[in-house]
Structure 1
Amino acid sequence: MPTTPDRPSAPAGFVSPWQNGSALYRRLLLTGSGLFLVGIVLSVVGALMHRPPVSFAALGVLGLGVLVHLAAQTVRVRQAARRQGGTGQSRTGGR
């Protein structure tokens, strides 16, 4: 693949998860990242305003962001396994 100003050269064998991921993967990843951002902002606002309930709500939003981000990674791993011809089982045939 030629190197252009828009596309720098990638290491040999590198597969971009963003370019090769499904729309579901991208949505989950962006949603998780957005929840991280909202949780951090809520945490800072709660700390600056001395409002513990806001800070505790921030923890819940951050936790939800982690779960959504993990769901995105699970979707990506399953798609990669399917692309390589695997079924998601171990190499010993599921034993």
Structure 2
Amino acid sequence: MSLLHKLKREIYVLDGESFAWLLREGKHEIQIDHNTMGQTCGILPVGVDSSRVITKGLKWDFGDVSTSNHLVPSIPLITIETSRPVLWTCEIKPL
């Protein structure tokens, strides 16, 4: 996670259960593919002590980081606005 923060390019981390990437400060729109993305997602600060986060399109939209939130099956796009870098994580549906 620290390395993602230090590098100045987009890097996606993928394993058999989830994927993640760094969201730098600002507003981000993420297209959701409900055929491959699982229900659980999270937003974690990276290399900073805190971040103000505003989400739209998640099950629990609020102004804070969250290690466990949920995607809503009927919503294909989520918006995340952050004051500091955060790590976006999302589970992958099992095959």
State the TM bucket, normalised to the shorter chain. Answer: under 0.3
Between structure 1 and structure 2, the one with the greater Rg is 1
Q: Which has the higher strand share?
A: 2
Which has the bigger relative contact order, CA under 8 A and spacing at least 6?
A: 2
TM-score, normalised by the number of residues in structure 2: 0.18
More helix by share: 1
State the TM-score, normalizing by the size of structure 1.
0.18
